[in-house]
Amino acid sequence: MKPQAVGKTPRRISAAEAAALVQSGHWVDYGVSLGQPDAFDAALAARIGELQQVKVRSCLSLRPRAVVEADPEGRHVFWLSWHFSGWDRRQHDAGLCHYIPVNLGEVPDYYRRFNAPVDVAVLKCRPADENGFFNFGGTHLWHRAIVECARVVVVEEDPALPAAEGEAAGVHRSEVDYVIAGAGLDLPELKNPPANSVEHTIGRRIAAEIENGACLQIGIGELPNAVCAELLASGVGELGVHTEMLTDGIADLYRAGRVTGAHKTVQPGKIVYSFALGSRKLYETIDGNPDFCAMAVERTNMPHIIMRNSRVVSINNTTQVDLQGQAASESDGCRHISGTGGQLQFVRGAYASHGGKAFICMASTYERPGIRRSRIVAELTPGNIVTTPRSDMMYVVTEYGMVNLKGKSVPERAQALISIAHPDFREALEREARERRLIPRHWSGARLG
């Protein structure tokens, strides 16, 4: 672990000088989403051909990374990701990006407990404030753990980042070795397209289950944001928020006065999150706003902390559910799509919360060229990764209904899930379930035992 030097002043250098710190075989940390460097990335790309076996950890890359694009055959740099963005996914398809399996709430432990090597860490932060802190700019997650474990810490300054209020929401100059100027690029935004009719239907089903005073966790994607839109149209209020990702949907509820946090146990009155990702309006909403509290991911995602709030409602997407209730949310066979993220930890934390509910939602079908397929299947696609096991699944929601799998036997689960599949696929699913003996030959639908 890097010792803190009291009173130390970091040295200002150029991006090229910072990139020269990287040697062959080094582990380099780029941080997450808005916290990933741009000027340093371009400078390292300019000399990547001189280096061998450089491993770069990253997460949710929001714009193309120059160091990867400068090495199209992957001879010099290995790009490793805790969770894929669309760009990361495309690099994985090309063999240039590799996933690190993890529950995101455990990532700080990987650095501190298991001594994940960090030779050079480069994090984009706001310029230092009057107290000498470089604010993480709304991307907290495991950046503190990276700083603590890195042999060399470089801050790339970006005044465009929002000033996020929170717990240890930055790095002090005494922990920083070098400071470089940023590239002056606009902050990347993650804009969700307007919800379609299927997403609105699913959103209404879930919103109807949310009570005044509930504490929300909203995952990434159009469906969870559709729930926020439906909550805006409802009369539900006095909501709390304890989430990993802060989304535009949550910010909309806040600006409408629906979020007070009055009934929370963990940081009452505060909107707790670990990273913000969305539109410029979202970044403006959190900028210097004391109603929001950025926290390290081990403080947002661990189930034993989540459950301290009552009536936690966890809302997450999936891409495929089998008839036993296994949710595969991160891959399409052996093709990795996204990541485990915080889904499983929030499912478990919500269930353990007094009065809590965990929702896994999906459109009943998806389209491939010339064919429509069911997301509810008798067996998962070969190679698919189970994100939420059948033993943890609670509510499953499609546009055709909602079922609670807790306490249900395999035959009951199969029939319940068939009932919310697209009608065009129900007969085939029933036949496959009986062929696989998921539903007994003489089963009529009554409870066993």
Question: Which residues are identified as catalytic?
Answer: 244
State how far the Cα of 62 lies from the Cα of 86, in Å rounded to an integer.
8
Tokens representing 23 are 């040697």
Tokens representing 135 are 């604010």
State how far the Cα of 299 lies from the Cα of 278, in Å rounded to an integer.
22
No. of helices (H) and no. of strands (E), the chain = 15, 27
- Residue 3 neighbours by CB under 8 Å, 6+ apart: none
- Residue 398 neighbours by CB under 8 Å, 6+ apart: 202, 361, 362, 363, 364, 375, 376, 420, 421, 422
Determine contact, residues 133/372, Cβ cutoff 8 Å: no
- Chain centroid, CA 285 distance in Å: 20
What single string gives the DSSP state of each residue in 367-427? EETTEEEESEESSPPTTPPPSB-TTT--EEEETTEEEE-TT--HHHHHHHHHHTS-HHHHH
- φ, ψ of residue 276 to 5 degrees: the values are -105, 135
State how far the Cα of 32 lies from the Cα of 22, in Å rounded to an integer.
19
Helix axes 423-435, 410-419, angle to 10 degrees: 160
Coil, strand or helix at 268: coil
H/E element holding 89? Answer: helix 86-93
What stretches of 265-323 show up as alpha helix (H) in DSSP? 280-286, 297-300, 303-306
Determine contact, residues 321/375, Cβ cutoff 8 Å: yes
Coil, strand or helix at 294: strand
Determine contact, residues 292/246, Cβ cutoff 8 Å: yes
* Residue listed under structure tokens 């804009």: 191
State how far the Cα of 437 lies from the Cα of 205, in Å rounded to an integer.
31
State how far the Cα of 375 lies from the Cα of 373, in Å rounded to an integer.
7
